[in-house]
Structure 1
Amino acid sequence: MSKTVTLDGQILHGRDRFGSWLVHTMEGWDEQPEPKSNAEARPLADGDYDDEVFYGARLVTLSGRLAAKSPENAFTARERLNSLLRAPARFQVDSFGMPRWATARRGRIKPGQIKGRWLPFQMELRFIDPRKFGEKRSVSTAVGVPADVFQRGTHPATPVATITGSFPSGYNLQLNGRLVSITKGLASGSTHTVDMRTGILRQNGAVVAGGFSFAELLKVDPGTPQNFYWDAPSGSGTARLDFYDTYM
């Protein structure tokens, strides 16, 4: 089978212990979400002011059926569908060996009436983060040593930076003309993580209030390699960037 669909660990297109699942229709996954922009007309001039384009939440609707191994399997599969997404979880579509996934929240999950071994179902899934993700990438480098980073997606990726070592006076992270300057010192044996999506700095997992003197959150653009560089007034250690091929 050239395609599989899973939600919260449950196969929706493929085979499992319940039987053979088939997704008939799926809308909203392969299309871009609606763009949103605050563009304004230029008074007494041609055109509009330039404005970055962002995207709204993604809504995916799908329908399908289960050909169960037995009526009892259809019954337990219906219970399984009703239990999905009690908490946000991964929705993944694997086409031709190229998986794409995102974090889904429950909209409406409606299993139909069982007819013999057949169980139809319909779903509405909400994705407040409309991005889709593919292969994970990691790049590590010592302080003062540049490194190339790249991703094969179609949308900027937001990395998580993990810093280990000893940096009593903080350090600076630079990528694509953007700078994140951390003033919070790091002691040997401790770890800093900086989430470039949220701008949150953590030390050993605990959120650090402040800790920045300057923050232009880093992004890895799709396409050719880009130069990541970091430096510190004193100390030694390693920085690792973790990110995914990112798609819209």
Structure 2
Amino acid sequence: MVEMITLDGYPLTGPTRDGVWKRLGELEGWFDSPDPKRINAPRTRGDGNFQTEINYESRLITFNGRVVSKNHDYLHEAAGILAALPGRGGKQFVVDGHGPVQWTTVDPRGKVAITFPTDTRMEFQIPLEAIDPFKYGEWRKFSASVSSDVAIFHRGNADAIPYVVVSGSMPGGYTLSHAGSSVVVTEPLVSGSPHTVDYRKRRLYKGGAPVRGGLSTASYARVEPGQRDTFSITPNTTGTATATMTLYDTYI
């Protein structure tokens, strides 16, 4: 399969108007897992440390490449494009050609370093940082209703975080359940004013605006990779609604 790597939609591999782009060496930091991190809590009267949650540091990516252009002017056009690509961050970095297409959001980690070995050849290095160290692939949607639960899954290798939109009418609120955990929403659901439950931010939104309170209990369970689970919505009192969960294939 042909490799295609893009930053903010611009190809860093393959032919463009400005020249032929090629990756040099390894795609540093992409295929590795990021460094784990945890808060050490020493056992003052025992051996070792207490068990604490393990998270991940930012993913540090370095792309080394080369551009060969048909003339000197085109080469400097390519250099101008390259210098501006990372911008002020929040750019999508996409890797295709090495298994499933995967992407992450990156910020500049340092300057774009450019050298010109000849009048028609440029070599460069782009240091990037993904504050969210996870990589994402395809997204899929699953809809559950009061009378119909739905099987959910994703094809990544790390736990995926759900994003749920609920529309309908439930004056006493509702309960979303999967993986043996539940989010109980007490905020009334009104027709024409859908709710969003963001499991990443652990927040409830109504009509796009954040809601203070509105939840009685909330266990924001993630969806494990490689297995199916069941997602359901039930009214706390009466009513009917549809809950649509969005999941991305999630990789570490």
What interval of TM-score do these two structures reach, taking the shorter chain for normalisation?
Answer: over 0.9
Change (3 A) 1:186 1:68: same
CA shift for structure 1 position 50: 3.1
Q: Is the 8 A contact 1:75 1:114 kept in 2?
A: no
1:217, 1:126 → 2: CA distance?
27
Q: TM-score, normalised by structure 1?
A: 0.93
Change (3 A) 1:224 1:240: same
Give SS of 1:73's match.
helix
2:147, 2:48 → 1: CA distance?
45
2:174, 2:75 → 1: CA distance?
57
1:102, 1:81 → 2: CA distance?
19
Q: TM-score, normalised by structure 2?
A: 0.91
**Aligned match for 1:239, one of 216, 236, 243:** 243
Give SS of 1:172's match.
strand
Match of 1:6? 6
Give SS of 1:112's match.
strand
1:14, 1:88 → 2: CA distance?
23
1:144, 1:218 → 2: CA distance?
22
Match of 2:217? 214
Match of 1:185? 188
Match of 2:105? 103
111-120 vs 59-68, which moves further: 111-120
1:31, 1:97 → 2: CA distance?
15
Q: Is the 8 A contact 1:196 1:217 kept in 2?
A: yes
The code of the aligned residue for 2:184 comes to S
1:24, 1:78 → 2: CA distance?
17
Match of 1:94? 96
Match of 1:117? 120
State whether structure 2 residue 65 is matched by structure 1 residue 61.
no
- Of Structure 1 and Structure 2, which has the larger fraction of its residues in strand? 1
**Aligned match for 1:145, one of 143, 148, 151:** 148
State whether structure 2 residue 51 is matched by structure 1 residue 50.
yes
231-240 vs 141-150, which moves further: 141-150
State whether structure 2 residue 78 is matched by structure 1 residue 77.
yes
Give SS of 1:137's match.
strand
Q: Is the 8 A contact 2:145 2:232 kept in 1?
A: no
Give SS of 1:181's match.
strand
Give SS of 1:98's match.
coil
Q: Is the 8 A contact 2:144 2:231 kept in 1?
A: no
Q: Is the 8 A contact 2:69 2:121 kept in 1?
A: yes
Give SS of 1:79's match.
helix
Q: Is the 8 A contact 1:162 1:194 kept in 2?
A: yes
Identity fraction in percent: 36
CA shift for structure 1 position 64: 0.8
Match of 2:129? 126
Give SS of 1:129's match.
coil
Q: Is the 8 A contact 1:23 1:64 kept in 2?
A: yes
Moved over 4 A (4+): 41-48
Match of 1:28? 29
How many residue pairs end up in the alignment? 248
CA shift for structure 1 position 143: 2.0
The code of the aligned residue for 1:183 comes to T
